[in-house]
Structure formats: C-alpha cells, structure tokens
Chains A and B, each alone.
Chain A
Amino acid sequence: MFERKQLSHKATWAAAVAAIAGLAGLSPAKAQDSVKIGLILPMTGGQASTGKQIENAIKLYMQQKGDTVAGKKIEIIVKDDAAIPDKTKTAAQELIVNDKVNFIAGFGVTPAALAAAPLATQAKIPEVVMAAGTSIITERSPYIVRTSFTLAQSSTIIGDWAVKNGIKKVATLTSDYAPGNDALNFFKQHFTAGGGEVVEEVKVPLQNPDFAPFLQRMKDAKPDAIFVFVPAGQGGNFMKQYAERGLDKAGIKVIGPGDVTDDDLLNNMGDAVLGTVTAHLYSAAHPSQMNKDFVAAYKKAFGNRPGFMAVGGYDGIHLIYEALKKTSGDTNGDKLIEAMKGQKWESPRGPISIDPETRDIVQNIYIRKVEKVDGELYNVEFATFEAVKDLGKTKK
C-alpha cells in the first residue's frame, strides 16, 4: 500500500512536470512560426571532419546572431549521410516529407549534393551547398545555391600564377574522382595556355594507402613543381611522404588548390610543408578583423581552428538568414531563391556574393604560402585575385 502510494505520488509529479514543459515548449514553436533547416552532413566516415566543422560553424553563427529571423524561430535538424549518396537521398526525402523542412543544406561531397538535387527541384525548396566543390552542381537544379567554392576557381588561378612565377614544368598528382579531375583539367587549361608544360600526369586512387611509388615517379620526372589535389584528410600523408622522399631538397615545389594544406590538419604536418604555395578561398590567417573575431570565437567554442569547410557553413547559414529577412519570413522556395541571388556580404574569408545567373559563389581567391606564425603553421596570403566567378560551367 505504502509503495503504491509513493508511486502514484511520483507519477503525479511527473505528469505535472511534463505538462509544464509541454506548455513552455508549445508557445514559441507553433508550426507557422518556425523555419526548419534540414542539415545533411557526413558526421561519420572519412569525411566526418567536414560535417563537424560545418555543424560547429552553424552553431556558432546561431549563438552569435540568435535563433529568430523575421519573427520566425530557426530550427536545425541534422542528419548523417556518411558521404554516401544513397543515404543523402533517403535523408533528404525524410526531411522534406516527414519533417516538412523549408531548406536542405550541407552536403559534404559532390555525389551527395547531386543526389539531393532532383528532390529540391520537386519540392521547390532551396538546397544550400556548403562544402561540395564540383562546378556542375548548381546546374542540376534551379533551387541549388552554393556558399563553398568550386575547384575551377582555385585551380585556374594557381595555373595562371604558376606560369607567371617561373614555374615552367609541372607534374600533376590528383585523386581520381570528379573534384580531382576538375582540378586537373582547369589547372592544365590555364597552365598550358600560359606556356607551361605538364611533364607527368598521375591520377591516384581515392582510397590510397601509400603515395611512395607515385612520388618516386614525380621525382624522376624532375619538374619545377608538383600540382597536387587530394581530399582534405590525405594532405598530411602526402606532405610527409613528399619530404621523406627528399623532393623538397631536390627543389620540387608543391602547388595546388588549398585542400592539401587545409587549416584543419595543417599544423600537424611538420616543417616539410613550409613554403607550399596554394590558391584558395580561405585561410585562418586571413588578416581581416572579422576573421580574427571568427577564429577566436570558433577556437573558444570548439577548441580548434576553423578550416574552409567551417566558413562554407558559416556563410551558408548567413545566406539563409538574409534570404528570410528579405522575404520577411516568407518560406516560398522560389521567393527565397530570388532573395538569395545577388546577395553580397563580408565573410570571414573576405567579400563574397552569390552570382544571380548561376547561383554560385563569387569570391576572392588568395595565393598563400605556408609559414610559421607564433610557432604554428599557417597559410599566409600574399596575393589576391578579386571576385573570381566559377569558370567551370558547361552552359555559358
């Protein structure tokens, strides 16, 4: 008897607590007053660092700017696709059909962004690409907007820069998948057009355990520099083996798009990476005040340095906020896309805008050299190419 009484007592309390919690939860979150953003990111698997950086950056942005825009509460639903396109598609479907999201966003790799494209078109909701970097993505749906980068942007710039700076013979080493091929082709076009010569061309498998034989081939070809594109996580291994094989002492430089010296991993790569010249959209050492504040806040919140993926996420959520402000909270997909076109703002990476024609990002590309700053390795920017559009669109 005693026991039962106590139980029912507890149950009453629980019910009361639940009722209060329910009431409190209900009032600000009426269906029409919230905007839902479905964030599809690789949170596990080889690309997990991309997903984590983007999620962190979005959290940071919402802490700084609040979670209400134009009278609407922003709600983020994160789904993990492990960078597998099938899972991306399922996740996008669930988000659109069950959760009735107003945006889908994220997308760590190109195949994932492409898998969601037809769903965005059908549901008429904006797809904000925050990481994937192949040019064709924005052509696959009129609802896709990108805040990351395209490989054509950095690869063409480094090609032009190399020819003008005394690099005549280049050997290329690129990962054998769509972004790698994009990087290679755009680099080659611009480098050879300027009078440079590609003496050796190697495509390495994406799951590559050991670069040794490929690097030996590079060394024997005796180029002035190696043009490298490997996915962000593999850059460290590449740089270590490059030094181990003595390519640095043989006077062969490393150039490429900035993925190889991603801020996320750069500081652990060792001194061999010093002097590597890359073209990229963002460096944690970018000297603007806005970036200094961003880096400091990010470090304070998450304990490490933001990389270019984090910036893609930060700008992506900013674009969503701005679009909602412009439509005064209207979540009609067509109106939102219209509102996003031509947006211009100051990002931690520098001034950027959304090209109204292609819905792709227009941004400065910086030429940077790896240097030691206060005992840590950073990409230090020394030349700027302003407002670079994506040059890789098939439909001109």
Chain B
Amino acid sequence: MTAILTNLFDGVAYGMLLFVLACGLAVTLGLMNFVNLAHGAFAMAGGYVCMVLVNRMGWPFFAALPLAFVSAAAIGIVLERTLYRHLYARSHLDQVLFTIGLTFMSVAAVDYIQGSSRVFINLPAALQGQFDLFGVGIGRYRLMIIVICGLLTIALQMVLAKTRFGSRLRAAVDDPRAASGLGINVPQVFAFTFAFGCGLAGLGGALSAEILGLDPYFPLKFMIYFLIVVTVGGSSSITGPFLASLLLGIGDVAGKYYVPKMGPFVIYTMMIVILIWRPNGLFGRTAAR
C-alpha cells in the first residue's frame, strides 16, 4: 500500500515537472499554431542561469528560480521579436527546420561556454532527503515541485479564464483577424504569451536539473517528452496538457516500478493507445484548424 502511494507521489511530481516544461510548447503549438522544436533550449537556458547564480555566485536557490524564469522569458522575447515572428506565416516545415537549427546552435553554444559534462545545482539542506508521512516516503524536493507547479497551474488557469488578458488571448487565437479588427494588438499578445511560455520552460529547466539531469543535450533529449505531452493532451487548453502530463508521469513511474523490463516502453504505449482512441489528443478540438 505504501509502495503504491510513494509511486503515486513520485509520479505526480514527475508529471508536474513535465507539465511546466511542456506547457509553453502547448501554448505556441496549440494557441499560436507555431511548431517550436527549440522549446527545450529555453528550458536549458533557465537551468544554466539558475546553476550559475547558485553555484558560482552564491545566490539562494529560491531567489535564483524567478531569475531562471525571467532570463528565459527575456531570451524568448528577443528571439520572438527578431526571428520567430518572421516565420509565423511560413509553412510548418520551415518552422521545424528553423527551430531545430536553433536547437543545435543552443546545444553547441552551451557546450562551448559551460562544457559538456552534466551540472548540478547546489540545493539547500532543507530540500534534500525524504521524510515519512504515515509510512509513505515523501521526497522534500519532489514535494516542492508539486507545490510550485500546482500553484502555477491554478494561476495559469485563472489568468486564461478570468482576466482581460486571458480573454484577449483566447480571442486572438480563435480569430486573429476579427480580434485585431476589434482593436486587440494581436502580435503583442502573441509575443507576451510566447515569452511567458519560454519563462515557464526556463523555470522547469531549473527545477528539473536535479531529477532529469542538466547538460547541453537537454533540448534534444527531452524534445520527445514535450511533444508527447502536447500530442496526448491536445493543444487547445491548459487542462489537456496538464492531465496528460500527470497521466504520463504516473504511468511512467508505475510502469518502471512494477514492470521494470517494460519500463521505458510504457510511456510510448500509452501515447499510441490514447492517440488511436482519440487522434486529436485527450482534449483536442475535433475540427481541424
């Protein structure tokens, strides 16, 4: 029984992490209809910024996390203004080629500056180890991930559903022409959304260094996971990728625990089964856009 709960806990933490990493991609792919394979590069940027601040400059971990978000978002907005926006109207193939090129450049750049070996972020002692809650082993770091990501998800949902910006964004996505006719500055809304998505990836990158490992190949290694989350979840809302992340996180952890021989395949099997059942993802729109 406690084994089940521990696995559930680990799975939720893993899923939450996947969500923060991938939800920016859900936004660009689903809302802006732009294929951004360089998403992982922003996550890596956030991770490395956090590492440099904490390890080399002695910042406390919790002060470096927001900086990871801000720096990834800043890089995002610069690239969006200078490069990405020229490709919004181009074909998906052009977008894929452009962003994959960007990914390779980021890998080479980080390898050149920081070296190719894996880096770790020095954690405060309070976040290390595990404690027992009614016999269930709870990892402190994973608990923190669940709390941070849980709060973020609620905040995101609120912003999208309740605020003026949220309704502008939804309008801009549904019908960009009508929205700009109504006086909504569509490019600005997209730019802001894009930057925010990059920021979230940066935060995810900083949080994931401890669990997934951070090295210059991060964007390539985890690209598949991001894409699985978005395809399975469907890209029309925040809830879809969120539930998909949780499902995949728990499935992956449980699969590796109970059938370790099949472990690595569980996540792919789930994806195939779900996509056969619902080709547009769990919460996809039925009509193609």
Chain A residues in contact with chain B, CB under 8 A?
Answer: 44-46, 48-49, 52, 202-205, 207-210, 212-214, 216-217, 219-220, 233-234, 236-237, 240-241, 243-246, 264-265, 268-270
Contacts and interface: CB of A to CB of B under 8 A. Distances in A.
B212 interface: yes
B263 A205 contact: yes
B264 interface: yes
Nearest to B263: A205
Residue of A49, A203, A212, A241 most packed against chain B (CB within 10 A): A212
Interface of B: 3, 6-7, 10, 14, 108, 111, 115-120, 128-130, 137, 139, 141, 210-213, 215, 217, 221-222, 225, 252-257, 260-261, 263-264
A72 B240 CA distance: 68
Given A213-B252, A213-B256, A217-B257, 11 more contacts: A48-B111, A49-B115, A49-B116, A202-B260, A203-B261, A204-B263, A210-B212, A216-B3, A233-B117, A244-B129, A245-B137
A44 B112 CA distance: 10
B139 A264 contact: no
A49 B213 CA distance: 16
Contacts of B120: 236, 240, 268-270
B117 A46 contact: no
Contacts of A240: 120, 210
Contacts of B222: 209
A183 to B, nearest CB: 17
A268 B129 contact: no
14 contacts: A46-B217, A205-B263, A205-B264, A213-B253, A213-B257, A214-B263, A216-B6, A233-B117, A234-B213, A240-B120, A240-B210, A245-B130, A265-B118, A270-B120
A268 B260 contact: no
B153 to A, nearest CB: 20
A355 B38 CA distance: 50
Contact of B260 (A203, A212, A237, A245): A203
B119 A45 contact: no
Nearest to A241: B211
Contact of A213 (B7, B129, B137, B225): B7
Given A233-B118, A244-B139, A244-B141, A212 B10 contact: yes
Contacts of B115: 49
A214 B221 contact: no
Given A45-B217, A46-B215, A240-B210, A216 B129 contact: no
A125 B57 CA distance: 51
A390 B116 CA distance: 31
A217 B253 CA distance: 11
B265 to A, nearest CB: 9
B10 A216 contact: yes
B253 A212 contact: yes
B221 A207 contact: yes
Contacts of B263: 204-205, 213-214
A150 to B, nearest CB: 24
Contacts of B213: 209, 234, 236-237
A217 B255 CA distance: 11
Nearest to A217: B257
Contact of A209 (B10, B117, B225, B255): B225
Nearest to A50: B116
Contacts of B255: 213
Interface pairs A-B: 6 shortest CB-CB: A213-B256, A48-B116, A205-B264, A213-B257, A246-B130, A209-B212
A268 B215 CA distance: 14
Nearest to A42: B116
Contact of B111 (A44, A216, A243): A44
Nearest to A202: B260
Given A44-B111, A49-B117, A244-B128, A217 B212 contact: no
Given A44-B111, A209-B222, A233-B118, A243 B256 contact: no
A224 B210 CA distance: 26
A214 to B, nearest CB: 6
Residue of B141, B222, B263 most packed against chain A (CB within 10 A): B263
B118 A237 contact: yes
Nearest to A262: B117
A234 B253 CA distance: 19
A361 to B, nearest CB: 25
Nearest to A265: B117
A202 B258 CA distance: 11
B130 A216 contact: no
B126 to A, nearest CB: 13
A246 B129 contact: yes
A16 B129 CA distance: 69
A303 to B, nearest CB: 10
Contacts of A213: 7, 10, 252-257, 260, 263
Nearest to A272: B128
Residue of B111, B118, B119, B252 most packed against chain A (CB within 10 A): B118
A306 B7 CA distance: 39
Residue of A210, A268, A269, A270 most packed against chain B (CB within 10 A): A210
B211 to A, nearest CB: 6
Nearest to A212: B10
Nearest to A51: B116
Contacts of B210: 240
Contacts of A45: 217
Contacts of B256: 213-214
A44 B105 CA distance: 13
Contacts of A48: 111, 116
